[in-house]
Amino acid sequence: MKDIPQPLSAINSNFITELTTFIRMRGLSYSTEKTYVHWIKRYINFCGYQSRHDISSADINRFLEHLVIKKNVSPNTQKTALNAIVFLCREHLKQNTESLKYKRAKKGPKVPEVFTHREAIAVINELSEPAKLVTQLMYGSGLRINEALRLRAADIDLDVQSVTVRNGKGNRDRKTLLPTALIKPIKQQLALVEVLHDRDLDKGFGEVYMPYALAKKFPTQARGYGWQYLFPASRLTVDPRSRKMMRHHITDRMVQLHVTKAIRKAKIIKKAGCHTFRHSFATRLLENGTDLRNIQELLGHSDIKTTQIYTHVAGVHQSGVKSPLDN
């Protein structure tokens, strides 16, 4: 249950408890919370601060240079660390950071790796359930792996063929398309979920994790079928907050391992993984003439510039330019 926020009582530092409370009050996602706390702890340890009054934004440059020169981190990692520390100093500790100049590592343009349609299907065909259906949703609906794993039964609308992604990246909800080819396997998966849920109820269980204290507001819904995960775990586990036995969803690590093996079996030598299916979804839509704004909405990008990177991938094949060797 690593994607369920840990109770504040489990944190053994008063300052980190205070910081975590502040992050949650700001409404940031749990993944952002974990990332920020990780980098803030590293910053505090690196600078050797003994109390909150010692923390200073003046040491940011020194820490960033350490990450690049000593730890050889990527520009993206350095940027993530910077965002976390600026959040700590400017937002939480109310320090003035406007006059500071940060030395960012230079990042060259990076074109995402994508599968051809034949390669994507070849990998999918090497998979068994439930990893196969998860991967089909990544390729057919453009979902991130954890967006697919966190789907609940009620998030699937078979009548209008749509998938509702709740609390996606940036804590935003969105709708995306459900491919016709997945209607039958989705129905089979929902039937499996229902049978498993009925079995749990018979044994006195059947409750699932509900975010934002919804379980208290709607106490009966936590045992309802609609809230059950589309990809339930094979066994019950203890919820870290309520200490109740619940059935969570399967882990992203399990799916990633299966996809890695399937890529190897399909004899694909690209640097690829689960996220490559999402990149391939966007690229296929562009190649088929889908408007960039529509793709942005389906992917849940807040900035159109993020979506525009796929034009560099699709453009190579659509430009009509021929190599002189082919003339």
pLDDT score, position 268: 96
Residue 102 domain-assigned (yes or no): no
User: What band does 213 get if pLDDT is binned at 50, 70 and 90?
Assistant: low
pLDDT over threshold 70, residue 325: no
Residue 324 domain-assigned (yes or no): no
- The token duo for 137 is 């949703």
Residue 5 domain-assigned (yes or no): no
Could you tell me if 50 and 136 lie in one domain? no
**What percent of the chain stands above pLDDT 70?**
90
H or E element that contains 188? helix 183-202
**Residue 115 is part of which domain span?**
109-317
For residue range 93-148, what is the model confidence (pLDDT) as tens digits?
998 887 766 666 666 567 889 999 999 999 999 999 999 999 999 999 999 999 99
Terminal-residue alpha carbon distance, the chain? 57
pLDDT score, position 122: 97
Mean pLDDT of the chain: 88
Could you tell me if 191 and 221 lie in one domain? yes
Entry field: residues in the chain: 327
Could you tell me if 261 and 139 lie in one domain? yes
Give the predicted TM-score (pTM) of the model. Answer: 0.80
Domain boundary among 92, 120, 135: 92
CATH number of the domain to which 63 belongs:
1.10.150.130
Could you tell me if 20 and 83 lie in one domain? yes
Residue 9 domain-assigned (yes or no): no
CATH number of the domain to which 232 belongs:
1.10.443.10
Average pLDDT over residues 58-79: 88
Residue 100 domain-assigned (yes or no): no
Residue 137 domain-assigned (yes or no): yes
pLDDT over threshold 60, residue 319: no
Could you tell me if 169 and 275 lie in one domain? yes
Average pLDDT over residues 37-66: 92
Report whether the peptide linkage leading into residue 75 is cis, meaning its omega lies within 30 degrees of zero: no
Average pLDDT over residues 64-84: 89
pLDDT score, position 317: 55
Write out the catalytic residue numbers: 144, 169, 275, 278, 301, 310
For residue range 254-264, what is the model confidence (pLDDT) as tens digits?
999 999 999 99
Cα–Cα distance between 124 and 117 in angstroms, integer?
Answer: 11
Cα–Cα distance between 61 and 184 in angstroms, integer?
Answer: 55
Residue 147 domain-assigned (yes or no): yes
Is-contact 43 15, C-beta < 8 A?
A: no
pLDDT score, position 9: 77
pLDDT over threshold 70, residue 326: no
User: What band does 71 get if pLDDT is binned at 50, 70 and 90?
Assistant: confident
Q: What is the DSSP letter of 90?
A: I
Could you tell me if 52 and 154 lie in one domain? no
Residue 325 domain-assigned (yes or no): no
